Structure 1
Amino acid sequence: MAKENKKFMILSAIGIIMVVDSHTWGTFNLFANFFPFNSFFMPMFVLISGYFNRVDNKTNLWKYTLKKVKTLLIPYWVVSALAILLEWLMLCYKTEAIQPFLFDYRAKAFLNTFTSGEITTIALPMWFAPMLFAVQVVYAIMKKFLYKIWNSKIIIVLFAACHIWVVWYAKGHDLNEKLLLPLKVLFFLVFIEMGILYRDVLEEKLKKANHLLLLSILLMINMIRIMIMPNEYDVAFDSLGTLTGFTSPYAVTPLISAIVGMLFWIEVVDLIGKPFYNSKVVNAISENTFYIMSLHIVFFNILNCILFTINKFKALPYFDIETFQESNWYRWEYVQQFRYLYFLFGVLGPVGLIMLYDRFIKKPALKLIKGNKAKTGKDKT
């Protein structure tokens, strides 16, 4: 990967670390009191995809869409099926009884792909994949057919207006689930254009900026915003899969929060990121953000099952068996420091699983396929 893209590899690694951190109830919480993770990390992933987006009037929409199906939707469905199976197996272990699989119910959950995107609670963050697929495809269609009149500075204003309208509409209405995906597309389109504008216009200009001064200004902006909000957490927003987590009285809040938070962390990476450009750990995390996003709750539950086993032989203080059995989001927090172990399981578990898959399944399979093709070629000659 080109050196200039290393910055965004680090940014994507930071983003997924924030996702896992927020789901361990704030293990590290870096600057989260000023820039709550939920105020920008999902928009930041879309901005990163925009930074690498190169669609134009020459783009073959059919091939582009098939590529996105292959890289986003198929992994989403496969990993969701795996998560459902693991959820059922762990439920059987949790309850110490064979539970009904409820195949019809679980199969129907796949219809949520194009609504909330939430198929199972043990892989709830995967709602992001079909949303990103839809945003990228819609953006590609618009860019191809409007390319001759496309002006990013005008388009971003229109996209920002759509984003603000979605927040306003979602705050005041009970949303029909069939509207969720179109509304999420309108909500996130502005961030894909921001990524492109940053790459083409702002990146070079910001290299000349005083990074410490800009970071201080952004920090001050959010401190003031937090103080003037009715509640300090109003600068953030939850439940984007269903668009139900907007608490600020102002519809423009999510947009401002996202811009300030994303720019802050881009500047942090610009300032101190270079020593990590060739870090194998950072690159492994960055290259597996999809699987960490998808499976970190699964690995939290694997850790819980280990604790449950230990609890059978030696009682763990305050280990809530009933909540553990009923919820995929249970965390044992007898000591707050135990969050670090959940965090490590959530990040390194999926990375390790994919490394094992690549080494023992994918590579041997590809080697076998290549060998068969070579043998077939020799037979023909």
Structure 2
Amino acid sequence: MEKKINYQFKILYFFGIFFIVACHCGYGGISLGYEWFYPGAFHLALFAFGSGYFYKTSYEEHIGSFIIKKVKHLLVPLYLWNFVYAIILMILRNNKFTFGGRISLYNLLISPMINGHMFALNFPTWFVFPLFVVQVATVLMRKPLYKHEKVNDWVVLVISLIIGITAAYAGKCGWNRNWKLLFVRAGYLFPFYQLAIVYKNKWEKHDTLNNIAYFGILFLAQLLIIYKYGGTIYYTLSWAIGFENGIIATPTIVAILGIAFWLRVSRILAPILQKNKLVMMIADNTDAVMTHHIFAFFIINTIYAAINKLTGTAFCSSFDWEQYRSNVQYAFCPENLGQFRIVYMLAGLILPLIIVILQKKVKEKINGRFKKITT
């Protein structure tokens, strides 16, 4: 039987990774309603929500297999690419670049779990380990209740909301270093993973409100928050910054509103965007885009640097070599025109796909040679 594809959530994943790349390059020179629903307030929660939607209760019957599967899918690629970027960064640091840290056992093995920024070019992968913690904590918490399906979703949701709000409060109190930071990151994401499970099991079939009423309620709620706090609320989950804005539940509330908005937009656009091969490929490879888009920015900067060196005062005359060598998120805009950030946006979404294609071809060649040796 052919597996049914949920295009609404594929489109949701596409928007989620689009927002993450945009937030790392000055929003890519464009705005998709950021004045109302600022992506920094919900894009990571959106990924936790999307992941939770595909949770299966069968995982609770075979916890060991589930954890092994997640280690293979999340942690093995994390550590492999961490090693690759460590080597790349070592080469760059020997050539006058100053961003990132040095290779050490701590940065190779421990830092990806509690920091994630050690080698700079792949710093967005800090998100992987907190997500892994959320997924494992969920199956462990649900296991004792799996025979009581009627109460399971609600009990875990309530517990997760308490943990999420506690994590936000911890961030407000300065828990932004070492293992405390991991608690804030994973704890904050925890309720969104559970919300998706409840949405799928309980609410989705009732999500039939017409678009005018649906968006009207969301915009009214968001407008009240904007009025209350004098603008959109956002935070930087990677370093637990911004949780002091509003009451401790505010970050959770604004993230829910942002997710709800783009969840419905994804439903509306799914019939159109599901036919776009590039959008579908990005949606299917969000992990690769997450891992490599900063490196893609660096490649664009390197191209600009080469143009600057070859042409002198033409086009890239204002290119900042110091920023290029010291700031991994430097985005050069000729004549200070912010619209040029779209170059970084496109590179951040597309160049990682090229890495995926090359990776698959190398894997196929290795497998082919291995088969020849063994036959």
TM-score (norm 1): 0.89
Give secondary structure in 1 for the equivalent of 2:239.
coil
Kindly report which structure 2 residues correspond to 1:139-218, keeping only aligned pairs within 5 A, or say none: 139-149=138-148, 150-175=151-176, 177-206=178-207, 208-218=208-218
Q: Residue 127 of structure 1: CA displacement?
A: 0.7
Q: Does residue 244 of structure 1 match 2:246? A: no
- Residue of structure 1 equivalent to 2:281: 284
Is the 1:80–1:119 Cα contact (8 Å) retained in structure 2? Answer: no
- Residue of structure 1 equivalent to 2:347: 345
Alpha-carbon distance in structure 1 between the residues aligned to 2:134 and 2:349: 26
Give secondary structure in 2 for the equivalent of 1:119.
coil
Report the CA distance shift for 1:328/1:152 in structure 2 as closer, same or farther (over 3 A): same
Alpha-carbon distance in structure 1 between the residues aligned to 2:16 and 2:353: 15
Is the 1:56–1:147 Cα contact (8 Å) retained in structure 2? Answer: no
Q: Does residue 29 of structure 1 match 2:27? A: no
Kindly report which structure 2 residues correspond to 1:25-174, keeping only aligned pairs within 5 A, or say none: 25-27=26-28, 28-56=30-58, 58-92=60-94, 102-104=102-104, 107-108=106-107, 110-149=109-148, 150-174=151-175
Is the 1:91–1:325 Cα contact (8 Å) retained in structure 2? Answer: no
Percent identity of equivalent pairs: 26
Report the CA distance shift for 1:210/1:102 in structure 2 as closer, same or farther (over 3 A): closer
Report the CA distance shift for 1:145/1:372 in structure 2 as closer, same or farther (over 3 A): farther
Alpha-carbon distance in structure 2 between the residues aligned to 1:228 and 1:317: 44
Is the 1:56–1:143 Cα contact (8 Å) retained in structure 2? Answer: no
Question: Can you give the 5+ residue segments of structure 2 that lack an aligned partner in the other structure?
Answer: none
Alpha-carbon distance in structure 2 between the residues aligned to 1:236 and 1:117: 21
Give secondary structure in 1 for the equivalent of 2:107.
helix
Alpha-carbon distance in structure 2 between the residues aligned to 1:139 and 1:178: 19
> Cα deviation per residue 1:51-96 (whole Å; 9 max; x = unaligned)?
101034753222111111110001011112222222333445565x
Give secondary structure in 2 for the equivalent of 1:134.
helix
Is the 1:83–1:295 Cα contact (8 Å) retained in structure 2? Answer: no
Alpha-carbon distance in structure 1 between the residues aligned to 2:123 and 2:18: 16
Residues 259-268 or 316-325, more deviating: 316-325
**AA aligned opposite 1:232:** G
**AA aligned opposite 2:235:** F
Q: What root-mean-square deviation, in Å, do the aligned CA atoms of Structure 1 and Structure 2 show?
A: 2.4
Report the CA distance shift for 1:18/1:169 in structure 2 as closer, same or farther (over 3 A): same
Is the 2:79–2:108 Cα contact (8 Å) retained in structure 1? Answer: no
Q: Does residue 330 of structure 1 match 2:330? A: yes
| 2:295 maps to which of 295, 298, 301 | 298
> Cα deviation per residue 1:265-284 (whole Å; 9 max; x = unaligned)?
01011122212224211111
Give secondary structure in 1 for the equivalent of 2:121.
helix
Question: Can you give the 5+ residue segments of structure 1 that lack an aligned partner in the other structure?
Answer: 376-381
Alpha-carbon distance in structure 2 between the residues aligned to 1:169 and 1:128: 18
Q: Residue 213 of structure 1: CA displacement?
A: 2.3
Is the 2:59–2:66 Cα contact (8 Å) retained in structure 1? Answer: no
Is the 1:164–1:187 Cα contact (8 Å) retained in structure 2? Answer: yes
- Residue of structure 1 equivalent to 2:16: 15
> Cα deviation per residue 1:170-201 (whole Å; 9 max; x = unaligned)?
21244551223234332222111111111112
Q: Residue 100 of structure 1: CA displacement?
A: 12
> Cα deviation per residue 1:310-332 (whole Å; 9 max; x = unaligned)?
11122323211112111111111
**AA aligned opposite 2:180:** L
Alpha-carbon distance in structure 2 between the residues aligned to 1:297 and 1:281: 20
**AA aligned opposite 2:285:** N
Give secondary structure in 2 for the equivalent of 1:122.
coil
Residues 9-18 or 160-169, more deviating: 160-169
Report the CA distance shift for 1:103/1:162 in structure 2 as closer, same or farther (over 3 A): closer
Alpha-carbon distance in structure 2 between the residues aligned to 1:161 and 1:100: 35
